[in-house]
Amino acid sequence: MKRILCWHFAADDLKLGYRDGRKIQAGRILSVEGTPELCLHGMHGSRTLLNALDYANGSQICRCEVWGQVDKGSAKLCGTHRKTLWIIDGTNLLHEFACRCAEDALALADNPDSRSVRAIEVKRLWVRGLATRAELAAARDAARDAAWDAARAAARDAAWDAAWAVQSRRLAAMVSAEHKRAK
């Protein structure tokens, strides 16, 4: 059977949801009985990391293969079998990815709002344990205010599509690099 390479974000305890409770482990094959149906039944995955991130319920990044009877959608798929090839804890990596995406967005502005720049700085400090949750929340709130101010003044559909493609490639490269480093 043809196996489809995909991504899956697992819960931090690496247990399947929906009262299943089986543990996800590198090298382990998990299977379901019956006909897979997107969002309802089956072993899910996405072909791209960003699509998988849309469905994430945790920060454990799994590289998987899905096969058997497969139901395919535009952003995800599910099959009767899924083998987890490897797993990395993506917690800090995803925070850093968010910071880089924010920096990309700010780079499009002629004069980025200092509240947004500061929020990125505080987020990176928080990841390293050098800022409190309260400091992070205050910076986030200020950046949100700045973003709403900017959003009212700018149209961004074309920029969004271009940024999405760049971010998709960046996240894949970051996860691959982390996997190689963790070996």
Residue 154 has pLDDT above 90, yes or no: no
The whole model's pTM is what?
0.78
Q: Among 4, 35, 31, which Cα is nearest to 20's?
A: 31
- The string of pLDDT tens digits covering residues 15-45 is 998 888 999 999 999 999 999 999 899 999 9
- C-alpha torsion sign, points 69, 71, 72, 77: negative
| More confident site: 14 or 167 | 14
